[in-house]
Structure 1
Amino acid sequence: MGGDFDWAVPLVAAPMAGGASTPALVAAVNRAGGLGFLAAGYRSAAEMLRQVERARELTGRPVGVNLFVPGASGGSAAVAAYREALLPEARRWGVELPAVIPPDRDDWDAKLEALLRRPVEWVSYTFGLPEPAEAAAVRAAGMRQLGTVTSPEEARAATVLGLDALTVQGPEAGGHRGTHRAEDRPGTLPLLPLLAAVREVTDLPVIAAGGLGDGASIAAALRAGAVAAQLGTAYLRTEESGASAAHRRALTALGATTVTRAFTGRPARALRNAFTDAHQDQAPPAYPEVHHLTQPLRAAATRREDLTAMHLWAGTAHRLARAGGAADVTRDLWEDALRAG
């Protein structure tokens, strides 16, 4: 079933930045025949390599690493205005909000250099695409490249760049929507029609992502022409997940999700709570500036396990997330998908 890809079971563990993705999760999904990805976002190049080394100790199967592509800085005036709006929250939590936010490229250059020295099997990109020379260097090092796209236009750009496959991320996905520019308004075309629209403009293999939480949805994505299904929220409650105990509880305790810029400046699907309701329309499309601005607030809420203020990334199928070992969850989901046909 895997064809030329690195899986016996066409399920991919999504890279979830911020700690949810772990080497143990990658290894468990690999053990069940899938393909696991590490999330390098928000980590230094050295931290990324340590995670790769640990994954190599735990699995002899292929490993993927996801990189955040740096973009243009957001408007400083808009960020300053959002800071003013958040000051009552900061006083309530007893934290200081940064007044100056230096440029941040997420250690992009160092990460590329590190991977060229110590290649992995797969590199995926979120928030944009590498420069042609960078993609050529990664290709020459023997790594296959996967671009995250949210529209046919982004798919065309990734195809021209010569990537090996695309992750087509629908609006149902939890966490950040991988639009290639922070200011872009993400599309609302559901995953299955989006897959069809992307397949009209590219011959590259596509991996479906967004709201896939059970066998029926996985089977539907594969019938729609995807070579695999990428799952993130579905793994948050597993034993190997790095999600906090509060985040795990929230997946079943809270109901609705919403797409918000309130936490990072980029559109991201999270469980709706008081923070998203209060600041939904205030945050500017400035990433990573808003991410750094709200970091003290998010850290304080997480320390106190306050579900009304935490950033609780979750896809639309969050209530279907299963507890247990990630290898067992992967096997069960695939067996369910086979039954659903």
Structure 2
Amino acid sequence: MIEMSDVLASPVVQAPMAGGGSTPALVAAVSEAGVTGFLAAGYKPAARMREEIEETRRATSRPFGMNLFMPSHDRVDEAAVAAYRERLGPEAERLGVELGAPGDRSDDWEAKIADLVADPPAIVGFTFGCPEPGVLAAFHEKGTVTVVTVTSVAEAVTATAAGAGALYVQGREAGGHSGTFTGAAGTPLRELLPAVRAATDRPLLAAGGLATGAHVAEVLALGADAAQLGTAFLRCPESGAGGVHKAALADPRFTETAMTRAFSGRSARGLVNRFMIEHSSFAPVAYPDVHYLTAPLRKAAAARGDAGTVNLWAGESFRLAADAPAAEVAARLLDELAAATA
């Protein structure tokens, strides 16, 4: 059976960033530089996911991963979603767009699983829940390592019992969506990681506010087998993050991050901006319903350069993200790790 150690080039992994951050160019660049890259299938149809896999394969022969969102099973309060729609009406009027309508709640899950089992990359990861044991077993039979995102000891135990090959241990400091099974915010990484290490023998990939080689060395000492960094790569030219997003990460007007459901209906960490401040306390737990609702707002705001109305996902160490080629960022992280563990 293929193990995680067989496919990781180093203890540093570029985290999957759905919504555009992860691109074939980014994954290929970091993989060639000795950091295992991850594509993200979230919000994309299966056909587009396959195109990105093939594009990445053409650019690198190194192992890389693909991460999927589990289908949403949120019990949606339709009245709460309707009330939130009404609240956001003035935002839509200001931007000259119509609010979005409900869409697919499965994120094309069945088609993606069928496609990946037929021809998988080296690693397949899962966020927002744990697949059935049969799904994990199908990938293991193909020689693919599976990774399930967990944010608690209970989730780690569940994923281990289901047959996950490894666990992606996400602390609440991480940028973007919390990968929790329940939708609630998680535990600080340095508290969560040792607890998960004590509860499972699976390889652990740690994430949450990590931005330097010294951070990687710290989580390795706490029981991780590798560290995943996402925000650290967002400002790279190969990243697919929008210009508004990249600029905001270096903008001194943005000073902190917070968790919010305002943009998607599920807890995610981003830079605190006007939209988050005004609407977070009113956003219902309703993913991906709120995601679809706000999509036209976010698209229009990004086109206008309006950083106050878009989701600016970022981890707590966002100020350390550099505007530099991905290969340079990867090399710096590996050099810093070597120095920290010398």
* TM-score, normalised by the number of residues in structure 1: 0.96
Distance change in 2, residues 1:193/1:287 (3 Å): same
Question: Which stretch of the first structure deviates more once superposed, 128-137 or 168-177?
Answer: 128-137
Identify the residue that residue 252 of structure 1 maps to in structure 2: 250
1:209 and 1:5 map into 2 onto residues whose CA distance is 20
The amino acid across from 1:284 in the alignment is: P
The amino acid across from 2:95 in the alignment is: W
Identify the residue that residue 26 of structure 2 maps to in structure 1: 25
Q: How does 1:185-334 map to 2 (within 5 A)?
A: 185-187=184-186, 189-253=187-251, 254-334=254-334
Q: Is the 8 A contact 2:220 2:227 kept in 1?
A: yes
Identify the residue that residue 159 of structure 1 maps to in structure 2: 160
Secondary structure in 2 aligned to 1:4? Answer: helix
**How far apart are residue 140 of structure 1 and its match?**
2.1
**RMSD between aligned residues:** 1.4
Q: How does 1:172-187 map to 2 (within 5 A)?
A: 172-182=173-183, 185-187=184-186
2:77 matched to 1:75? yes
2:54 and 2:247 map into 1 onto residues whose CA distance is 31
**How far apart are residue 102 of structure 1 and its match?**
4.0
Q: Is the 8 A contact 2:4 2:145 kept in 1?
A: no
1:3 and 1:281 map into 2 onto residues whose CA distance is 40
Q: Is the 8 A contact 2:26 2:37 kept in 1?
A: yes
1:17-63 residue CA offsets vs partner (Å, 9 max, x unmatched): 11110111111111111211100000100000000000000000112
Structure 2 stretches lacking a partner, 5+ long? none
Identify the residue that residue 132 of structure 1 maps to in structure 2: 133
2:103 and 2:29 map into 1 onto residues whose CA distance is 38
Q: Is the 8 A contact 1:9 1:32 kept in 2?
A: no
2:32 and 2:84 map into 1 onto residues whose CA distance is 45
**How far apart are residue 3 of structure 1 and its match?**
7.8
2:269 and 2:161 map into 1 onto residues whose CA distance is 29
Distance change in 2, residues 1:114/1:165 (3 Å): same
1:192-230 residue CA offsets vs partner (Å, 9 max, x unmatched): 111011112111111110100112211111111111110
Distance change in 2, residues 1:8/1:137 (3 Å): closer
The amino acid across from 1:27 in the alignment is: A
The amino acid across from 1:44 in the alignment is: P
Structure 1 stretches lacking a partner, 5+ long? none
- Between the aligned residues of both structures, percent identity stands at 52
1:235 and 1:204 map into 2 onto residues whose CA distance is 26
Identify the residue that residue 96 of structure 1 maps to in structure 2: 98
1:222 and 1:112 map into 2 onto residues whose CA distance is 31
Identify the residue that residue 39 of structure 1 maps to in structure 2: 40
The amino acid across from 2:77 in the alignment is: G
1:181 and 1:58 map into 2 onto residues whose CA distance is 37
Secondary structure in 1 aligned to 2:7? Answer: coil
**How far apart are residue 136 of structure 1 and its match?**
2.1
1:221 and 1:20 map into 2 onto residues whose CA distance is 24
The amino acid across from 1:84 in the alignment is: E
**How far apart are residue 75 of structure 1 and its match?**
2.1
The amino acid across from 1:158 in the alignment is: A
**How far apart are residue 94 of structure 1 and its match?**
1.2
1:164 and 1:45 map into 2 onto residues whose CA distance is 23
**How far apart are residue 103 of structure 1 and its match?**
4.2
2:37 and 2:311 map into 1 onto residues whose CA distance is 24
Q: Is the 8 A contact 1:32 1:330 kept in 2?
A: yes
Secondary structure in 2 aligned to 1:313? Answer: coil
Q: Is the 8 A contact 2:103 2:292 kept in 1?
A: no
Secondary structure in 2 aligned to 1:186? Answer: coil
Q: Is the 8 A contact 2:125 2:149 kept in 1?
A: yes
The amino acid across from 2:185 in the alignment is: P
1:215-246 residue CA offsets vs partner (Å, 9 max, x unmatched): 22111111111111101000011121111122
The amino acid across from 1:334 in the alignment is: L
Q: Is the 8 A contact 1:10 1:227 kept in 2?
A: yes
1:252-278 residue CA offsets vs partner (Å, 9 max, x unmatched): 112111100000011000100000000
2:144 matched to 1:143? yes
2:88 matched to 1:86? yes
The amino acid across from 1:33 in the alignment is: G
* TM-score, normalised by the number of residues in structure 2: 0.95
1:178 and 1:116 map into 2 onto residues whose CA distance is 22
